[in-house]
Amino acid sequence: MDYSKLAIPEHRQQPKFMAWLAAAVKPLQSAQNCLNDLHNRFDIDKVVGIQLDKLGDILGVPRKLPFQPSNGVSPIMDDENYRLILKVAIIKEHFDGTIPNLMNLLQSLLGNMGLYFIIIDNQDMSMEVIVFGKTSSLIKDELEHDMIIPRPEGVSMTVNVANEKVFSWGLGNEVFSGWSDGYWLPIRNNF
């Protein structure tokens, strides 16, 4: 906001008054601009590089993975993957432990990547999450190392990730396939 425009017309023509007003208002205007821009500096969808590292420090999530990913991928995450893991850390704080909430969280995080999820509650304080669809080896590793899917407290969780097409009767598309190409999902026998 230009505070010089708020001066009454008879004083706008006085150079000493306008210089005094500018000297008094400029530091305040600069501080206000900085505060107005502060939310952009910590917007998880906009920040990159060291700003993302600062968000990771605040959330307690390091950029280096605690395991060596498969296929020779570096354990130091790039900005895109690190942003995903930071979003997971935020979402874990809002997870209420229910299956519908977990399904919504997974769809909001990974649904646009072409992944599909089946969640099975075994009714014995254990659950299975089956993830299928095409994904990168790094996302697969992070899913298998319990870095993406929030786990309810006190519940054991098994994550099965199928990179291949999943077996299905009479349905063939980019996710499902028949006998020759379909991957049989491991289903636990509860009988």
Q: Tens of pLDDT along 112-147? A: 887 888 888 888 999 988 888 778 889 889 988 888
pLDDT tens string 23-34: 988 998 889 888
Q: Which residues contact 128 (CB under 8 A, 6 or more apart)?
A: 118, 119, 120, 122, 157, 158, 159, 160, 188
Q: Which domain, by its residues, includes 24?
A: 11-41
Read off the pTM: 0.71
Dist CA 149 CA 64 (whole Å): 18
Number of structural domains found in the chain:
2
Place 94 in a pLDDT band, splitting at 50, 70 and 90.
confident
Dist CA 11 CA 16 (whole Å): 9
151 token code pair: 């786990």
Evaluate whether residue 146 is within a structural domain. Answer: yes
Residues 33 and 66 in one domain: no
